[in-house]
Structure 1
Amino acid sequence: MQIGLIGLGKMGGNMAERLRRGGHDVVGYDRDPKVSDVGSLKDLVERLEAPRAVWIMVPAGDPTRATINHLSELLAAGDIIIDGGNSHYVDDQKHGAELAARNVGFVDVGVSGGVWGLENGYALMAGGTAEDIQRLRPIFETLKPVGADGFVHAGGIGAGHFAKMVHNGIEYGMMQAFAEGWELLEATDIVTDVPGAFASWRHGTVIRSWLLDLLVRALKEDPELAELKGYAQDSGEGRWTVQAAVDHAVPLPVITAALFARFASRQDDSPAMKMIAALRNQFGGHAVNAVDGQTGLGADSPGADTVPPVEAEN
């Protein structure tokens, strides 16, 4: 299948490569001409055969809105725009209605997998009509992990990003629990091998997970996390999850506390937040603040985005 892909940073670039490996014809556009296949959005649209499908992987908010608005003027009836960033589901519903007036389809896709998705596949949560989802099925099948799971048509427009928003809220709570457990183990002399304790939980326990694997990896690289400051950013999705809970009167004490803990990390050098920062760097290549005041991406990171990074967990 042929598809246009806009935004070839950490996520978008790896997704384009996975699609090409799967036999798809990908025409990529990025502001960095070194990685771009075309010189402009107009060039990209002209390279694609109708009916076109264009996947956007740029930062949520104004960059995504501007890209969709520009594309809407270039595309024709029967084309589809896919927003694979971390947009607010309310924005999706607005975009869907505006594009429908031009007979252009719209699908929102929450994407999880971070810098590891190229090899492992991406978990995909899609929102849109059944017809649009079915048309894009070959793309989804290539991007998702091998096996029965990893993709869901979550519902109508907005459902994909709503599901991803909740996913990220859960992620906040899980990371916070691991981080607090690490801080407690470090605070006592009873356990003398803290990294070993975490490593022992990786098999045969109910808390084994990919996050636990990444935690063990982070401690192997820096057992005391001495090279990190206890400062962790929050994504818009964490805030949106808590706001949605308020809107629907659903109690989310763990996720809300995890969000507030990140706010607290910006006030002092929190030990628990060192682990949050380490985990974000491990799974997403997110920048970390070192104790020497420098900001970096970590030794194993694939490098900075060629567009401003989407500030969210993936």
Structure 2
Amino acid sequence: MNTNQCDIGLIGLGVMGENLVLNMESKGFSVAVFNRTTEVTEKFAAGRAQGKNIRPTVTLEEFVGALKKPRIAMMMVKAGQPVDSVIGQLAPLLEKGDVIIDGGNSLFTDTQRRGRELESTGIHFVGMGVSGGEEGALKGPSLMPGGPRESWEIIAPIFRKIAAQVDGEPCCRYMGPDGAGHYVKMVHNGIEYGDIQLICEAYAILKDILAMDAAQLADTFEEWNKGELESYLIEITSKIFRKIDPETGKPLVDVILDKAGQKGTGIWTLQAAIKQYVVIST
């Protein structure tokens, strides 16, 4: 456990939060952590964080006191009211020049509002899109920070180092002021949902019209994924078709519930496009 002041702090120890902390620590940064439920912090400290340069804290006061100045406090909490709640408790403990980062999938207009509300305090607010899922958070995500330019200069050394690398360049660049980072993440997710819908429609045609079984579907998608347009979504789709349900012995795709969920960013993309009279058909 680290007892000195830490380079960065993270609030919210879900899987994404934990993996980001471990990523940061593996790149040489000391990290303070806090979770609303103390038991979660204790479990992380005794498990995946044990023996690492990670400092668990049980109050926000202790969390803030564990950070080097200017303090960098990153949140990985559910979008919406929980973000406002954490900011409301955290901001009074911080000082001018400190940075709060929201790494969740927040609506960009909420990020703009939060930035305005914190402006008078001198605390920088950064809305950062985080892409790559749980594995990306641990091994190298794509990061889309937006906020005051001064805040980028403070956080860049950490986030450019933990980001994924392509052709020797980190997948982390300054997106622009206020809600720019979350706006880019919103559009990114909208494009991804469009890709997923195209995959679903291709699956429906191959299964219902051409009567392909799961093994044939896996072979077809695997073949489609060869070449320069290699796609992660197509790759995992082919693997899903090969999965067998242990209880029934049938292909998993034939027994799962035919239902999809989403976090809102796809709808937000459509609404933003309509508002700007932009066509975004797939």
The answer, yes or no, to whether TM exceeds 0.5 is yes
Deviation string 1:28-68 (CA, Å, 9 cap, x unpaired) is 11133244211121210111122211001000000011111
The DSSP-based 3-state class of the residue aligned with 1:151 is coil
- TM-score if structure 1 supplies the norm length? 0.76
Unaligned runs of 5+ in 2: 1-5, 42-55, 245-250
The DSSP-based 3-state class of the residue aligned with 1:109 is strand
1:23-42 aligned within 5 A: 23-36=28-41, 37-42=56-61
**CA distance in 2 between partners of 1:190 and 1:227 (Å):** 17
The answer to whether structure 1 residue 60 and structure 2 residue 65 are counterparts is: no
1:240 aligned partner: 268
Query: What is the total number of aligned residue pairs between the two structures?
Result: 253
Aligned counterpart for 1:152 among listed residues 164, 173, 177: 173
1:46 aligned partner: 65
More RCO (CA 8 Å, sep 6+) = 1
Cα deviation for residue 220 of structure 1 reads 1.7
**CA distance in 1 between partners of 2:202 and 2:69 (Å):** 54
- TM-score if structure 2 supplies the norm length? 0.85
Amino acid at match of 1:11: M
The answer to whether structure 1 residue 197 and structure 2 residue 183 are counterparts is: no
Task: Confirm or deny: 8 A CA contact 1:18 1:142 kept in the other structure.
Answer: no
- The runs of at least 4 consecutive aligned structure 1 residues that moved more than 6 Å come to none
2:140 aligned partner: 121
Amino acid at match of 1:230: D
Aligned counterpart for 2:118 among listed residues 99, 110, 133: 99
Q: Percent identity at matched positions?
A: 37
1:220-299 aligned within 5 A: 220-222=242-244, 223=251, 225-254=253-282
**CA distance in 2 between partners of 1:190 and 1:85 (Å):** 41
**TM-align CA RMSD:** 1.7
Cα deviation for residue 234 of structure 1 reads 2.1
Unaligned runs of 5+ in 1: 255-314
Deviation string 1:128-157 (CA, Å, 9 cap, x unpaired) is 122211211122122211231511211111
Amino acid at match of 1:64: V
**CA distance in 2 between partners of 1:96 and 1:130 (Å):** 13
The DSSP-based 3-state class of the residue aligned with 1:253 is coil
Deviation string 1:239-285 (CA, Å, 9 cap, x unpaired) is 1111111111112233xxxxxxxxxxxxxxxxxxxxxxxxxxxxxxx
Rg larger for: 2
